Chain A
Amino acid sequence: MATASPPQRSPLMTPSFLLAADLKARYRPQREWVEGRGLFLIVAHFLSGAGAAAWLLAVPLNGPPGLVVGWVLVALSGLAHLAFLGKPARFWRMARRPHSSWISRGLLGLAVFLLSGGGFLGLAWLGQGGSALGQGLFWLSLLGAAWLLVYKGFVWASAKGIPLWNTPLVPILYLVYGLRGGLAALLLVALAQPRAGELAAMETLKLWLGLSSALLVLVYVAVMRGTGLTAAASVRALLRGQAAAVFYLGVVLLGLVWPIALGAYALATPVSGVVLASVGLTSLLGDLALLYAVARAGLYRPLPA
């Protein structure tokens, strides 16, 4: 008696087949860090940057609510990292090579931050935040947060296969965008529980960071355009190709134009909480869009050379 064969996906629909097609292209796009489960990596790096910056900036700007939000964002980034991995149950093995791998260094920073930050929040909840242990954990968490903010740019910049990322500008760009994300998260937190003078300070800082990041994006695009044929092809993909829609709508409009325009307006005239909330939200979306667009525009060097 004939048995029914199990349903099977056509090999033509698999990412592997897509890869085989990409290999024929002069400039092959990287897909693993931006498509399918690769999207989790983009989200993870966005959350870890915003969360770490929120933790650092909460100290002078917002206080305990900002610390909690920062820690939660970083914890979520850990989950997003796990969702990205092909073998998530083996994640702990990624801490084995901090002497050469930025991912190992990042995992150690994440562990230090989550443990020390979580410990501090727990002690603070019990009213022991000011104790020697609490303060020790707090200072350790600040180091962990600073490390988290810095490391992810180096993860991308150390990828020699993709010239668009393989530049010292990427760590600077991602550091500034991490700070922007953290500040935007704190802005949203502050809107929920406003305190005197807090919003004005954040708005000024936000505007300054917005202008700085706009300048950095311009410098990055201009420099990479002249760095080599592959980097120039990536810039074309960013400005006119597969990443253009996200770049113009997400990075430029939502992430730069809207927050900067409203930030400048808010300095001159008091604006409503809803408007400020839109600045925070669009700024966050813009930060996420930048990570996505730069990943999407990543092209390998052509083979043969």
Chain B
Amino acid sequence: MRLGMVIDLKKCIGCYGCAAACKAENATPPGVLWCRVVKVESGTYPQVRRISVPLQCNHCGDPECLKVCPTGATFKHENGIVDIDHELCVGCRYCMMACPYQARTFQHQVLGYFPGGLTPYEQRGYQRHQEGTVSKCNFCLPRLERGLEPACVANCMSRARIFGDLDDPTSEVARAIREKGAQPLYPELGTDPSIFYIAP
């Protein structure tokens, strides 16, 4: 089993719903973006085009971050999810230099969003984050264990994201890759990403 995702850029409307859902689900502190949306403009007036491209950890089949991690803090689950054991991470940030997808963030200081200290939600959510370590998307593993989809998928209002088992040829995600010609980012780097994009 290898979990992966297809993001249909034809359907993505750039609402940032996935990024907001990720923040709410994972209680990431300010500036820590496990999921983000980049707007790309191309062409010249009057032939101008603007598309939205959601970005996050690609959960590569051959991840560079895992190779360079000196402690084994970065590891891979049997279902293909690349994860971080925060108790092992020493905060060397080598993985951040190695990841071509800029998917990782170093947590310098876990701050709150509002003046006056951490809210009760932040106090509880921030227990998952450690200062001085690196963090990133884990496909909402706790949700998957409860039989739910990742928050970014469940909250995508235009259903631009398809999540599932890449190894199962009958899965919706595998069919979307096969039938719609979805492509990963930077395939030439040999990292074998698990996130594919359908061109707009």
Contact = CB atoms under 8 A, between A and B. Distances in A.
Of the four ranges (under 10, 10 to 19, 20 to 34, 35 or more), the interface on chain A belongs to: 35 or more
Contact of B68 (A14, A17, A24, A103): A103
A303 B101 contact: yes
A100 interface: yes
Contacts of B130: 87
A87 B71 CA distance: 12
B142 interface: no
Contact of A86 (B90, B100, B191): B90
A195 interface: no
A20 B31 contact: yes
Interface string B127-171: 000111110000000000000000000000000000000000000
Interface stretch (A4-12, A251-259, A274-282): A4-12
B55 interface: yes
Given A8-B112, A17-B31, A93 B68 contact: no
A248 interface: no
Contact of A87 (B53, B68, B69, B89): B89
Contacts of A15: 31, 106, 108
| Interface footprint category on B | 35 or more
Contacts of B106: 15, 32, 86
Interface stretch (B76-84, B113-121, B173-181): B113-121
A46 B74 CA distance: 28
Most buried by A among B91, B186, B197: B91
Contacts of A8: 111-112, 115-117
A95 B88 CA distance: 12
B98 interface: yes
B107 interface: yes
A161 B99 contact: yes
A78 to B, nearest CB: 14
Nearest to A81: B92
A305 B71 contact: no
Interface string A10-51: 010011111110011000101011001010000000000000
A85 B185 contact: no
Given A11-B31, A102-B68, A304-B55, 6 more contacts: A5-B117, A16-B30, A23-B36, A93-B71, A100-B68, A158-B67
Q: Which 4 A-B pairs have the closest CB atoms?
A: A86-B91, A16-B31, A86-B132, A159-B97
Interface of A: 5-6, 8-9, 11, 14-20, 23-24, 28, 30, 32-33, 36, 38, 84-88, 90-91, 93-97, 100-104, 107, 155, 158-162, 165, 298, 300-301, 303-305
7 contacts: A23-B33, A86-B89, A86-B93, A97-B69, A97-B70, A101-B68, A305-B185
